[in-house]
Structure 1
Amino acid sequence: MDDPDHTVYRHVSADWFKPAGVRRLRDRIAALAKRYVDHMADLGGECDFFVDVTSHYPLYVILSLLGLPEEDFPRMLKLTQELFGADDEELARDGDKHAQMGALIDFFNYFQALIAERRKNPTDDLGSVIANAMIRDVQIGELEAAGYYTLIATAGHDTTSAALAGGLHAMLESPEQWRRLAADPSLVPTAVDEAIRWVSPVKQFMRTTTEDTVVRGVPIAAGESVLLSYPSANRDEDVFDNPNTFDVGRSPNRHVAFGFGAHYCLGTHLARLEGQALYAELRSRVRSIELAGTPEYMEALFVGGPKRVPIRYEMA
Structure 2
Amino acid sequence: MSVRVADEAGKVFADPTAYADEKRLHAAMTHLRANAPVSWVDVEGYNPFWAITKHADIMAIERDNEVFTNSPRPVLTTAEGDAQHATMGVSTLIHMDDPQHRKVRAIGADWFRPKAMRALKVRVDELAKTFVDQMYDRGGECDFVQEVAVNFPLYVIMSLLGIPESDFGRMLTYTQELFGSDDAELQRGTTMEERGLALFDMFTYFNELTAARRANPTEDLASAIANARIDGEPLSDIDTVSYYLIVATAGHDTTSATISGGLQALIENPDQLARLQQNPDLLPLAVEEMIRWVTPVKEFMRTAQRDTEVRGVPIAAGESVLLSYPSGNRDEEIFTDPFTFDVGRDPNKHVAFGYGVHFCLGAALARMEINSFFSELLPRLTSVELAGKPEHIATIFVGGLKHLPIRYQLTR
Global fold match (TM > 0.5): yes
Report the counterpart of residue 328 of structure 2 in structure 1.
233
Q: What CA distance in whole angstroms lies between the structure 2 residues aligned with 1:15 and 1:261?
A: 18
Tell me, yes or no, if the aligned pair for 1:88 and 1:97 is still in contact at 8 Å.
Answer: no
Does residue 114 of the first structure (1) align with residue 209 of the second (2)?
yes
C-alpha separation between the residues in 2 aligned to 1:50 and 1:298? 11
Once the two structures are superposed, residues 77-121 of structure 1 have per-residue CA deviations (whole angstroms, 9 ceiling, x without a partner) of 000010000000110004557632111110000000000000001
- SS for the counterpart of 2:346 is coil
Aligned to 1:311: 406
CA displacement, residues 136-161 of structure 1 (integer Å, 9 cap, x when unaligned): 10011111101100110010111000
Q: Could you tell me which amino acid in structure 1 is paired with residue 398 of structure 2?
A: V
Q: Secondary structure at the match of 2:219?
A: coil
Q: Which residue of 2 aligns with 1:143?
A: 238
Aligned-partner residue type, residue 237 of structure 2: E
Structure 1 residue runs of 5 or longer lacking an equivalent are: none
1:214 lines up with 2:286 in the alignment = no
Amino acid at match of 1:295: P
Cα distance in 2 for partners of 1:168, 1:229 equals 23
| TM superposition shift of 1:180 | 1.1
Shift in Å, 1:290: 1.1
SS in 2 for 1:288: strand
Aligned match of 2:284: 189
Query: Following TM superposition, by how much is the alpha carbon of 1:211 offset from its aligned partner in structure 2, in angstroms?
Result: 4.1
How many residues are matched? Answer: 316
Q: How far apart, CA to CA, are the structure 1 residues paired with 2:317 and 2:328? A: 22
| TM-superposed deviation, 1:173 | 1.1
| Partner residue in 1 for 2:373 | 278
Q: How far did 1:210 drift? A: 3.6
* Aligned residues of 2:213 and 2:226 also touching (Cα < 8 A): yes
User: Comparing both chains, which one has the higher relative contact order based on Cα–Cα distances under 8 Å and sequence gaps of 6 or more?
Assistant: 2
Opposite residue 271 of structure 1, the aligned amino acid is A
Q: What letter corresponds to residue 2 of structure 1 in structure 2?
A: D
Match of 1:168 among 259, 263, 268: 263
Contact 2:189 2:195 in 1 (8 A): no
Task: Name the structure 2 match of 1:246.
Answer: 341
Query: Which SS does the other structure have where 1:307 is aligned?
Result: strand
Query: Partner of 1:123 in structure 2?
Result: 218
What 5-or-longer segments of structure 2 have no aligned partner? 1-95
Q: Is the 8 A contact 1:86 1:99 kept in 2?
A: no
Letter in 2 for 1:309: L
Q: Tell me the SS of whatever aligns to 1:311.
A: strand
Q: Is 1:12 the counterpart of 2:12 in the alignment?
A: no
Q: Partner of 2:407: helix, strand, or coil?
A: strand
Q: Distance in 2 between matches of 1:236 and 1:166?
A: 19
SS in 1 for 2:272: helix
Determine if contact 1:87/1:97 at 8 Å carries over to the other structure. Answer: no
1:24 aligns with 2:119: yes
Per the normalisation by structure 1, the TM-score is 0.97
How far residue 219 of structure 1 moved from its aligned partner, in angstroms, is 2.2
> What SS is found at the alignment partner of 2:398?
coil
Structure with higher Rg: it is 2
**Does structure 1 conserve the Cα–Cα contact (< 8 Å) formed by 2:141 and 2:408?**
yes
Residues 197 and 57 (structure 1), Cα distance of their counterparts in 2 relative to 1, 3 Å cut: same
Tell me, yes or no, if the aligned pair for 1:86 and 1:96 is still in contact at 8 Å.
Answer: no
Structure 1 residue identity aligned to 2:261: G
Aligned partners of 1:86 and 1:97 also within 8 Å: no
CA RMSD of aligned residues (A): 1.2
TM-fit CA distance, 1:14: 0.2
Confirm or deny: 8 A CA contact 1:47 1:310 kept in the other structure: yes
Q: TM-score, normalised by structure 2?
A: 0.75
Read off the aligned partner of 1:313 and give its amino acid letter: Y
